[in-house]
Amino acid sequence: MRIIATSAAAFCLLASPALAADEGKGIVLTPKYFEPGSGTGQQGGLGFSYKIDKTVATPAARQELSKESFHKLDLDFKAEGNVAFNRDINPSDFLKTGLELNYVYQYASAATLGGPGSGCDPTDPATLPQCREEAARSRSGDALVLFTGLVGSLESDQRFDRRNETFGAHLTTVYRPAPGSFVNQANPLDWPFRLVRWLTGHPMGLTASPDAFPKLRLALERVKPDKDPDRAALLGSTPDYNRGNIELAMSSPVGVVQGRQVKFEWSWRYFKEQNPASAIEAAGLDRYRYAASTLRLDSGWQLTYATGRLPLDRQSDAVWELGYRVEFD
């Protein structure tokens, strides 16, 4: 019986990417077409979204804590936003650019392959189907990444008519349960996609996807409005305030179309001002909700339905987006 030192091998056998502290790093540019929901009276239009996540310095290099875990300290530059050439149809008119000083901790337990009677030999590619089946039953091989640290950013709408400076702290957790664990097998978020995978002939079939376990981000920031005419009109000035933020995200393979994998991605973001003035609360400027659901092909094409609004956006939208995702290292 052989031991795979990290859960990465087991996840690869399940056609799922390995969990890593630098997952999601790089630059993503997505040209897209926006189509407002019916009844809005708005015409569709072109635009794009961007996301940049790059480590610019490592004040404390990676240090192994054990065979299964390590930690380090990173300084990350992050920027993201959604831009529509017709601002009125932008479902997320919110640009955020800043720096994060992150303490990173990663743990990945060992996954056991090649057990007696399994027919799996991790060194023999011919036994890949048997190894895949054994990995799917494994109750070991879970992985966890924690990010926590300080955040400083500049927020604005796409015309820079409204701007905020923010400073705060966050905690982000990314967890992938062991493939055969109860947590992974019982995850209700993945149940409908397991059936679709089986019906479309996806290699994972009815196997549960560890990616479907939600990722969580909690943040508390001090917001200094640099330019916000709406708050100024209500309050007579633009005092600083505290704001909480919760974000959830998950993804799961859905199926195969013409030999290409289709993934479903969902995210939900909630912002709430702490102890808002009554005028701010009455105007609905103290809380914001935004949700997006995406079907994405491995080729790069993606279809998104987005609803709600983000800070600095004054109207709630429901918009379809058809885009092509381009990734750079």
pLDDT at 59: 94
Structural contact between residues 179 and 141, judged by C-beta atoms closer than 8 angstroms: yes
pLDDT at residue 12, rounded to an integer: 40
What value does the mean pLDDT take over residues 239-252?
96
pLDDT digits (tens, 9 = 90+) for 283-306: 999 999 999 999 999 878 999 999
Question: What is the rounded CA–CA span in Å between residue 51 and residue 131?
Answer: 36
Return all residues near 42 (Cβ < 8 A) that are at least 6 apart: 36, 86, 88, 89
pLDDT above 50 (res 2): no
Read off the pLDDT of each residue in 173-188 and give the average, rounded to a whole number. Answer: 87
d(CA 130, CA 116): 12
Query: What is the tens place of the pLDDT at every residue in 77-103?
Result: 999 999 988 887 787 888 999 999 999
Q: Sorting pLDDT into bands at 50, 70 and 90, what band is 8?
A: very low
Give me the pLDDT at residue 86, please. Answer: 84
User: pLDDT-based confidence at 257, cuts 50/70/90?
Assistant: confident
Structure tokens at 34: 């926006």
pTM attached to this predicted model: 0.83
Spatial separation of the C-alpha atoms in residues 323 and 31, rounded to whole Å: 6
The per-residue pLDDT for 17 is 36
**Mean local confidence (pLDDT), 111-136:** 67
**Mean pLDDT (whole number) for 252-270:** 90
